[in-house]
Amino acid sequence: MIENFQLEEPLFEGRIHECQQFTLTFNGEEFKGVYKDDEINWYHPQPTVENDNRIEIEIEVYSLLKQ
């Protein structure tokens, strides 16, 4: 499902607003987002909600981030 999951440099490293950036490929499309306080926020373009793709992607991202 997710291909090429990669953690990027954290945003605002060492500051109160620090959050982890990530990049992934899903069905040949690249998506980027940030993870902070157990919440994922997506940059544009965002994964579509169609066919629950976004929910499936977020569940997999959560599991990859917890490793």
pLDDT digits (tens, 9 = 90+) for 18-44: 999 999 998 888 999 999 998 999 998
The whole-angstrom separation of Cα 61 and Cα 33 is 10
For tokens 């940030």, name the residue.
34
Is the distance from CB of 4 to CB of 60 less than 8 angstroms?
A: no
Show the domain range for 40: 2-65
- Total domains in the chain come to 1
The pTM for the full model equals 0.83
Mean pLDDT of the chain: 89
The whole-angstrom separation of Cα 59 and Cα 38 is 11
